Amino acid sequence: MNQSGSPLAQLLDVMADGSGRCIGPAAGTDEKRTFGGVLLGQGLAASARSADGLPCHSFHALFVAGGVVAEPAQISVSCLRDGRSFKSRSIAIAQGDRLILSALASFHNGDAGPEHQVAMPDVGLPHTLEDQRELRWRNAAARGRPVRRYASEEMLDARSVDLPINTTHGMEGQRYVWFRSRWPLSDDPVLHQAVIAFASDAGMVHVGTLPHNSLGTGTRLDFASLDHTIRFHCAARADGWLLHVQHSPVAVAGRGLARGTIFDAAGTLVATVTQEFLLRYAR
């Protein structure tokens, strides 16, 4: 995947280092630890190298440790099985001798079968919403605070709608997020899947904190992604608008769960996402 045209494509353009591993470029942003979406996108791109052109249909990742933002990552891919229809890969991403992500990926070209999907919710169009980066920059300037650069905002034009807390059956955090690459992308299907994987991590912890932030208690919370699964259903372009519908149905025992469905602008369900995250009182 040689995508020199855009910073996002360059970030996800993992290169073989001659030792059987790939190198994932550093994001170089202002996060305290590597944005999980960088590792998801790079891991998917590296594993797709050995899948003979089959698209990824599922990617299951465990965030083992926080990554150092300024350092590149070493990505190792192992073949678990090459079947007639499916190929399975194991992925390990490390910085030095420190494992930061472990993942399993499966690739399948699809077969004929019955079809159904849930409908995309009726939501405002992205051009009626504000770019999250521009909104945060303006708020920082109004408060006299320095602007911090975050990988997801630097690479994605994301426009969100934070919805009221759903109290119909208990309490549930919910939000809608339109997103797309800030730059046009090539036609490489691996790149588009890697970008969607990158974007699928954005905001999943946030939707889980919404019910608790709404209480206004000021109680400090620790939070971080623990694991992440994305299942791809249909091909889609990541430089066109996609809608991520996010819900957080539960938080208990210091852990929360978020679920997401990603639709293209025509209403086709492109991918389904689940993530468990740390959510506990600050220590």
Q: How far apart are the C-alpha atoms of 91 and 46, rounded to whole Å?
A: 8
Catalytic-labelled residue, pool 225, 239, 246, 264: 225
181: β partners: 156
Catalytic-labelled residue, pool 201, 239, 248, 264: 201
Q: How far apart are the C-alpha atoms of 97 and 25, rounded to whole Å?
A: 17
Q: How far apart are the C-alpha atoms of 27 and 8, rounded to whole Å?
A: 9
Q: Catalytic: 201?
A: yes
Return all residues near 146 (Cβ < 8 A) that are at least 6 apart: 140
Q: For residue 260, which amino acid is it?
A: G
Q: Catalytic: 152?
A: no
Nearest to 31 by CA among 150, 200, 146, 157: 150
Q: Catalytic: 3?
A: no
Q: How far apart are the C-alpha atoms of 174 and 162, rounded to whole Å?
A: 7
Query: Does residue 117 sit in helix, strand or coil?
Result: coil
Sign of the CA dihedral with 241 first, then 158, 134, and 41 last:
negative
* Catalytically active residues, by annotation: 201, 225, 275
